């Protein structure tokens, strides 16, 4: 589902170069079969769509909205647009 999430293919790897970050953004481990984390649960509830509500939430509880963390501060991204920011993306699974 990484193409349904802004910057889904641009997550920095802060811990382990072997980790599959497109999975850990929404799962508790680097496998797509691992349990979903809070962001993954919310993303699933939207039928894997970037919605305004998902954008404005802070699913990992770090004080930053998902929009700020993932590079869409104005909650306007859709899969046909380039995100506002494509560097320094915060990983919602950490």
CA distance 27 to 62: 17
pLDDT score, position 31: 52
Instruction: Tally the domains of the chain.
Output: 1
DSSP-assigned letter for residue 15: S
CA distance 77 to 72: 6
- Range of the structural domain that residue 45 is part of: 1-93
CA distance 85 to 94: 19
Phi first, then psi, for residue 24 (nearest 5°) are -75, -10
pLDDT value at 62 more than 60: yes
Element (DSSP H or E) covering residue 55: helix 52-56
- At 5-52, the pLDDT tens digits run 888 777 655 444 445 455 566 656 555 566 888 888 999 999 989 999
pTM of the model: 0.76
């Amino acid at each position: 589902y990484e193409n349904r999430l802004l910057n889904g293919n641009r997550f920095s790897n802060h811990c382990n170069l072997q980790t599959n970050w497109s999975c850990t953004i929404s799962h508790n481990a680097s496998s797509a079969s691992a349990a979903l984390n809070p962001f993954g649960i919310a993303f699933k509830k939207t039928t894997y769509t970037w919605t305004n509500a998902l954008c404005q939430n802070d699913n990992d509880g770090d004080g930053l909205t998902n929009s700020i963390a993932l590079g869409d501060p104005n909650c306007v991204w859709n899969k046909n647009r380039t995100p506002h920011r494509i560097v320094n993306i915060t990983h919602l699974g950490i």
